[in-house]
Amino acid sequence: MKKIIILMICAVLALSLWGCGDKKEEGPSGQSSDGTFSFTTTDFDGNGFSSSDIEDAVLVMINIWEPWCGPCVGEIPYLAKLYDEYRDEGFLILGVFSSEDMDDSVEELIAGNGIHYPLLRWSREFRALETGYVPTTVFINGKGEILTDEAIVGSNSYEAWKALIEEYLEKAKK
């Protein structure tokens, strides 16, 4: 019985010490301690692109996808249409992908779907938004403040994305 009590005391002490530590202002993930998200990467054409390029946006939809993912590719026409509909209101979509070996597929998708929003290459900062599944979507504002409580996993219909965009545009404008 004494051994169990001693083990329990040691476990409680170890757990309380484990919680002590220095918090970093910004880790390698891209999410800072104040809940904002920042990144530096390149677009599909190799041009530099970073958080500073979205500062004028009211609402930014970060859609992490892959060209081999059927649901990801299936919703691209909806996203392209929604971007065209709402960009005058300060809406921006950033399509983020990592499959460098599929550049030809991405190029075909751009041409075949009328994509006018930036397609960005994945960089380590996007780890902060990953769920292990694609597509994964997060909404932020131009300051990098994350507006979604949790990442949205999976594809959506045009109507579902439209409702979310309108909801988050309203929140972001306040």
Please give the pLDDT value at position 174: 76
Residue 27 lies in a domain: no
Residue 88 lies in a domain: yes
- Sorting pLDDT into bands at 50, 70 and 90, what band is 21? very low
> Measured between alpha carbons, how far is 106 from 108 in angstroms, rounded to an integer?
5
Q: Model-level pTM?
A: 0.80
Lowest mean pLDDT among 33-42, 52-61, 121-130, 161-170: 33-42
- Sorting pLDDT into bands at 50, 70 and 90, what band is 172? confident
Helix (H) or strand (E) holding 41: strand 40-42
- What CATH number corresponds to the domain at position 51? 3.40.30.10
Please give the pLDDT value at position 31: 53
What is the chain's mean pLDDT, rounded? Answer: 83
Q: Which domain holds residue 150?
A: 35-173
Residue 10 lies in a domain: no
Residue 127 lies in a domain: yes
Is the pLDDT higher at 61 or at 1?
61
Please report which residue ranges of the chain form alpha helices under DSSP H: 2-18, 70-86, 103-113, 158-173
